[in-house]
């Protein structure tokens, strides 16, 4: 009897998770919209390297600093504009520069900024190691 109850609960849980994710419309764009976005990009610029760089910038943009986001967006727009005019080399150069800017912004946001901070973090870690372990509370 209890096995049947657990089985029913598990099935209910799986179904409710699936329904809940559909109601929340998980993901930013639905597949039809993704296809439209891709087609509009390909109409403007048919160089796949530039479109891939755009995608790489868009992936990193949420994790970067505000200054890098602003600069990378400007470079990305300039690159796509140059690509739509047929200047693929200039567009690729701008997009690569934008990717470097956004990548540097991510590193600035998530890394230790100076050697002093790094040394103090190492010393603090060593000091914490000298303390009692968490399970020895007496």
Predicted local distance difference test score (pLDDT) of residue 132: 64
Q: What pLDDT, in 10s, does the model give residues 94-129?
A: 999 999 999 999 988 887 655 555 566 666 665 555
Q: Which domain holds residue 78?
A: 66-112
Q: Which range among 2-16, 50-64, 91-105 has the greatest average pLDDT?
A: 91-105
For the chain, the domain total comes to 1
103: closest CA among 75, 76, 49, 65?
Answer: 65
In a domain, 82, yes or no: yes
In a domain, 44, yes or no: no
Q: What pLDDT, in 10s, does the model give residues 84-96?
A: 888 999 999 999 9
pTM value is 0.57
Rg (CA), the chain: 25
The sign of the torsion formed by the CA atoms of 103, 106, 108, 111 equals negative
Distances (CA, A) of 28 to 25, 37, 39, 131: 8, 12, 17, 47
Predicted local distance difference test score (pLDDT) of residue 43: 78
Distance CA(111)–CA(22), nearest Å, equals 37
In a domain, 33, yes or no: no
Predicted local distance difference test score (pLDDT) of residue 125: 60
When pLDDT is averaged across residues 38-65 and rounded to a whole number, the result is 84
Predicted local distance difference test score (pLDDT) of residue 45: 82
Given a cut of 50, whether residue 23 has pLDDT beyond it is no
Angle at 86 between CA 85 and CA 89, to 5 degrees: 120
């Amino acid at each position: 009897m209890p096995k049947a109850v657990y089985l029913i609960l598990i099935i209910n849980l799986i179904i409710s998770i699936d329904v809940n994710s559909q109601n929340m419309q998980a993901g930013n764009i639905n597949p039809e919209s993704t296809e439209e976005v891709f087609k509009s990009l390909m109409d403007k610029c048919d160089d796949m390297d530039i479109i891939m760089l755009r995608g790489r910038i868009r992936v990193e943009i949420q994790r970067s600093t505000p200054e890098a986001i602003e600069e990378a967006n400007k470079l990305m727009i300039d690159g796509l504009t140059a690509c739509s005019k047929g200047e693929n080399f200039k567009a690729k150069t701008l997009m690569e520069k934008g990717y470097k800017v956004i990548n540097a912004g991510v590193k600035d946001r998530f890394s230790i900024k100076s050697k002093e901070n790094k040394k103090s973090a190492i010393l603090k870690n060593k000091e914490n190691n000298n303390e009692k372990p968490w399970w020895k509370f007496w």
